[in-house]
Amino acid sequence: MTPHESGKIRLDKWLWAARFYKTRSLSCEEIDKGRVRLNGQPVKPSREVKPGDTLEIRSGPLVRTVVVRAISGVRGPAPVAALLYEETAESVALRLAAAEQRRLAPEPAQSLSQGRPTKRDRRDMQGLRDRDQAGHGDPWNQRWSASLDD
């Protein structure tokens, strides 16, 4: 992949070459969904990109703002693809802050107090049921018997 400074290329092809998306069809889908903006405007995949353009690329809650530095239509190794754009300082700061927030956030599964019982929980519950059915468990059931034998 040899980046060249002049010329224009389709947006979907540039995003694929710069390794923002794995396939061109995936980059087309994301552009069509409005997750990519060129110079602050929603665009179509066929829109041409030139050096100096600003792209806002949203993936999940994160928005990356990059400035196009070079044009290339061939996908190559990641270090070469990184030369095609420059991420803005604000975008880098927001991305790092979001990563730190995710790192400090508690594990969501640990906050669950209920859920599907484990095998041990199931065995414990079955043991309690068996004990109650045998009449050995709760004295309440023995004291308030409805039988006439007592």
CB 18 within 8 A of CB 81: yes
Tens digit of each residue's pLDDT (9 = 90 or more) over 10-43 = 999 999 999 999 999 999 999 999 999 999 999 9
Please say whether the beta carbons of 73 and 9 come within 8 A: yes
For the chain, domain boundaries: 9-103
- Residue 1 has what pLDDT? 46
Q: Tell me the torsion sign for CA atoms 134, 135, 138, 141.
A: positive
Q: pLDDT tens digits, residue range 58-94?
A: 988 889 999 999 999 899 999 999 999 999 999 999 9
Q: What is the DSSP letter of 84?
A: G
- Extract the tokens encoding 103: 């790192």
Q: How many C-alpha atoms does 84 have within 13 Å on its Cβ side?
A: 28
Percent of the chain whose pLDDT exceeds 70: 80
Cβ(84)–Cβ(14) under 8 Å?
A: yes
Cα distance between residue 99 and residue 114, in whole Å: 29
Alpha-carbon distance 95 to 86, whole Å?
A: 14
* DSSP strands (E only) in 1-150: 9-10, 36-38, 41-42, 48-49, 54-59, 62-68, 85-87
Note the CATH number of domain 9-103. 3.10.290.10
Q: Are 52 and 67 in contact (CB under 8 A)?
A: yes
Reduce the DSSP state of residue 116 to 3 states and report it. coil
Q: Which tokens in the block code for residue 130?
A: 């068996």
Instruction: Give dist(CA 141, CA 133) in Å, integer.
Output: 10
